[in-house]
Amino acid sequence: MRWIKSHKFISVILTVFIVSVLMLGLTMKFGNRLGFLNKVYMVIEKPMLSLGESITENVHGIFSYRDLLEENEQLKEENERLQNEVISLTLSADELQELNELSEVLGYEFVNPAENIVTSNIVSENSTNWTHTFSIDRGSESGIEVGDIVLSGRSMIGKISETGSGWSKVNTIFDESIKINFAVQGNASLTGILEGSKDETLTGFMLDENSDIADGDVIVTSGRGIYPEGIVIGKISKVGYDSNRQLKTVIIVSDVNLSTIEKVSVII
């Protein structure tokens, strides 16, 4: 005891080191069993995050007032155009009945996407300088499992890395631990591997160095590996060549801006 009192600094360091190593060992052996604390933290973090977002939006709004007015006008016009489009595209009750009867006759079974998708809110961001993760407010109670794909609109943004009741953690596609086998939309033979990210873009390489690809090509999941086929990843913004590895490299810009999205869908 006397030694501890006279060596407070070393005692604190040693105690923290021993506790941390123990915790690390326990996490490695049994996994993160303290996931329920995540839920508690989410309750605290959510209002903080909303406050931060509202501050940013308000400050941004002050400086871009004219742009917002212009955008508002454009959106009004687009809304009107889309409403007319919806009217022209809506199936009449008779046509729908006809289609249902036809599918029964042909024995066509289809999957109802609504039953396989869970919509969820992003409640916290848990990123460090190289891990890119965030938490959502749905978990195992909704049927979400580790490895499920997470989308924003039509685009892939990551996969579930941990889940519990009322919470799940998502590893984003910007996290280097996610390797995706991709293909060019419209030509499934042009495939490559997404291997990491640089700033806010994704980087990858083509499996065939003679692949005929160009800027603007849409990149989708190839269906090889754990990810289902045809999920949009982004668009090619630059094609290059790595002479050291003798590989055709690509820089892909995702359609999704992770800093602004609030809701995601999980394919279960």
Nearer to other proteins, 131 or 142 (CB): 131
The dihedral of CA 165, 167, 171, 177: what is its sign? Answer: negative
Q: Site map for other proteins, 191-210, x if CB under 8 A? A: -----x-xxx----------
The least distance separating other proteins from the CB of residue 172, rounded to whole angstroms, comes to 8
Stretch of 3-11, 62-70, 111-119, 244-252 contacting other proteins, by CB under 8 A: 3-11
The binder of other proteins chosen from 165, 177, 187, 189 (CB under 8 A): 177
Residue 226 touches other proteins, criterion: CB under 8 A: no
Q: Is residue 125 within the footprint of other proteins (CB under 8 A)?
A: yes
In whole angstroms, what is the distance from residue 166 CA to residue 34 CA?
A: 14
Angle at 31 between CA 26 and CA 37, to 5 degrees: 95
**Type of residue numbered 143:** G
Task: With CA atoms as reference, report the closest residue to 121 among 159, 170, 156.
Answer: 170
165 binds other proteins (CB under 8 A): no
Cα–Cα distance between 202 and 234 in angstroms, integer?
9
Residue 84 or 177: the one with the smaller Cβ distance to other proteins is 177
Q: Is 45 in the site for other proteins (CB under 8 A)?
A: yes
How far is the CA of 216 from the CAs of 78, 196, 203, 236, 254, in angstroms?
24, 19, 15, 5, 12
Binds other proteins (CB under 8 A): choice among 161, 181, 185, 191: 161
Give the closest residue to 131 by CA, choosing from 162, 168, 175. Answer: 175
Q: Are 230 and 181 in contact (CB under 8 A)?
A: no
Q: Does 259 bind other proteins (CB under 8 A)?
A: yes
Binding residues vs other proteins (CB under 8 A): 8-9, 11-13, 15-17, 19-24, 26-28, 32, 34, 37-38, 40-41, 44-45, 48-49, 51-53, 55-56, 124-133, 161-162, 174, 176-177, 196, 198-200, 258-259
